């Protein structure tokens, strides 16, 4: 017999989802694994934004993620590396950052990856 479902199971089974198109579409295949993982972390963060009602006047969900938080989560010691990851995501059209002003973190908007017909067959 198995074990009863426990609250610890809920936390143990939480995970980040990485779209398969990141592995099949030429536009995303060359993204670093750090960039792909960061996108998944950002996607997860949008759930918290919805709970906090971080939605702009257009109905777009945004979030705030400091360099320090991302460095800690990815176990990366360099702000330069985090900057490079964000530039990759910007270049791929997967995020947009809006400056909020001096000493305030940027608002980050997440974009869904584009899926082409051939991606569907590959996936």
Which of helix, strand or coil describes residue 106? Answer: coil
49-77 tens-digit pLDDT: 999 999 999 999 999 988 999 999 999 99
Residue 2 has pLDDT above 70, yes or no: no
Predicted model pTM: 0.85
- Residue 60 pLDDT: 95
- CA-based end-to-end distance of the chain: 36
Helix-strand-coil split of the chain, %, nearest 5:
50, 10, 40
pLDDT at 117: 79
Question: How high is the pLDDT of residue 39?
Answer: 97
pLDDT at 3: 67
Return the closest-CA partner of residue 76 out of 91, 62, 86.
Answer: 86
pLDDT at residue 19 is higher than 70:
yes
> Which is more confidently placed, 31 or 3?
31
Could you report the per-residue pLDDT of 63-120, keeping only the tens digit for each? Answer: 998 899 999 999 999 999 999 999 999 999 999 999 988 888 899 999 999 988 777 7
Any bridge partners for residue 95, and if so which?
110
């Amino acid at each position: 017999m198995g074990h009863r479902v426990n609250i610890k199971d809920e936390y143990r089974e939480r995970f980040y989802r990485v779209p398969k198109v990141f592995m099949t579409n030429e536009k995303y295949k060359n993204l670093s694994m750090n960039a792909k993982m960061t996108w998944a972390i950002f996607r997860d963060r949008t759930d918290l934004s919805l709970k906090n009602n971080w939605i702009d006047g257009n109905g777009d969900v945004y979030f705030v993620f400091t360099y320090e938080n991302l460095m800690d989560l990815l176990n990366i010691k360099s702000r330069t590396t985090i900057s490079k990851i964000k530039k990759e995501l910007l270049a791929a059209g997967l995020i947009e950052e809006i400056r909020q002003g001096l000493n305030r973190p940027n608002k980050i908007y997440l974009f869904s990856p584009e899926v082409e017909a051939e991606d569907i067959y590959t996936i």
